Chains A and B, each alone.
Chain A
Amino acid sequence: MAADTQFEKETEQVQDNWSGGNEPMKASYGKLMMWYFILSDAFTFAAFLITYAALRMSSEIWPDPNAVFNSMPFTHARLPLGFVTVMTFILILSSVFVVRAVQEGHRFNQKGVLLWMFLGIVGGLGFLGCQAWEWNHLIHQGLTLQSNPFGYYTTNEVVEGQTVDVFKGYVNLAVDEETHALVLGEDAVSTKGEAVPAEAKWHQGNWLFGCLFFFITGFHGFHVTTGVLLNCMIWIQSARGVYQRKRNYEMVEKVGLYWHFVDLVWVFVFLAFYLL
């Protein structure tokens, strides 16, 4: 009899293990799998950012971020990297709010989860709004998948008996209102404020810049959008008291992991496009 019960017990244990009941790393199946999904997503993002690194290394001249990202809504003042700093803060804070939601979940404090998750969602939407503004602004400046207004100018100089184009400085081009082509604006000055000499030849910036910028920040923005939707689902489930009844708020933690990952990726996007 005893052997039978022992056998039954073991069978039950094995079945339980195979249905995900085993916790080899003291983390639940769902949480572990969320981590491994994040790991694979990190490789996807790394592949994109490494593509950016390779293409940038292969170009002699690349736009200077301080001259590209210097606009701010509601003001015409030039504030290099000002707006993106605000965006970074919004995303970091949103991440922190979700950490607080997870902590309140551990204490089964439904109201706390709802409040902090709500703030996290607001932060995510704020970030998306900022990104929409930035994209719109850059497109109006003439940055598209094919054209790049963040150009440069060269002059002909004789080097070792040969006439070559020598890089002189960066200049932001303007969009012609009629032809929509990029042109050197009247009294255009270099990004350092020097006048562009009349004999200088101007060039568009590398067209890869726009492709990579829109593709990589777009892919990140897509992740943010997904994250906001997931956070909304968690908020609704919490409000309905689903986790309270189950006495288990782990879903908040799992979706929180994804949300922090979105913040983590932004650290590297910020590094690649705005700092280096």
Chain B
Amino acid sequence: MASGHHDNEAYEKQKKAVWVATAIMGVVTIAEVAIALNWPEGWGRGVLNLLFILMSAVKAIFIVGEFMHLRYEMRAMMISILAPCLFLIWFLIAFMMEGESWAQLRHFWGA
């Protein structure tokens, strides 16, 4: 228990980092909902979706980096966990293209 001055300082710093991350995530969530409700119709759905994806990515980075503490782990460990996730990007793109193709086939065959 008898933590030295240095330990205590590190603890206070970590505590602060977590509350800052919380505040940022809260603000991002409120911004997401506010944007979803007030987006003018003429501004295009694509830009809006891109914004949502970027804002969600910010939240994901804070959860994995700060809450799950991955930012402070060894580089090799970070890579071993994050690199396999790169496969998911192609997984997503491939299946969205597949979905579009299903839509075209359905349109073509009138089903």
A81 CA / B34 CA spacing, docked (Å)? 9
Contacts of B68 in A (CB 8 A): 257, 260-261, 264
A39 touches B81 (CB 8 A): yes
Of the candidate stretches A2-10, A91-99, A183-191, A197-205, the one touching chain B is A91-99
- Within A185-222, the residues touching B (CB, 8 Å) are none
A206 CA / B107 CA spacing, docked (Å)? 15
A35 within 8 A of B: yes
A268 in contact with B56 given A58-B99, A275-B36 (CB within 8 Å): yes
B88 touches A43 (CB 8 A): yes
B11 touches A267 (CB 8 A): no
Contacts of A25 in B (CB 8 A): 73-74, 76-77, 80
B100 touches A264 (CB 8 A): no
A42 touches B102 (CB 8 A): no
- Within B1-60, the residues touching A (CB, 8 Å) are 1, 3, 7, 11, 14-15, 18-19, 22, 25-26, 29-30, 32-33, 36-37, 49, 52-53, 56, 59-60
A26 CA / B81 CA spacing, docked (Å)? 14
Main secondary structure of the interface of B (DSSP, over half): helix
A139 within 8 A of B: no
Residue on B with the closest CB to A259? B67
A50 touches B14 (CB 8 A): no
- Within A73-101, the residues touching B (CB, 8 Å) are 80-81, 85, 88-89, 92-93, 95-96, 99-100
Residue on B with the closest CB to A261? B68
A270 within 8 A of B: yes
A-B pairs with the 7 shortest C-beta distances? A57-B99, A58-B102, A54-B99, A25-B77, A54-B95, A58-B99, A271-B56
A67 CA / B77 CA spacing, docked (Å)? 43
A109 within 8 A of B: yes
Listed by A's residue number, 7 A-B pairs whose Cβ atoms lie within 8 Å are A53-B99, A65-B36, A96-B67, A103-B14, A264-B63, A264-B64, A275-B32
B11 touches A103 (CB 8 A): yes
A270 in contact with B95 given A81-B36, A92-B22, A99-B67 (CB within 8 Å): no
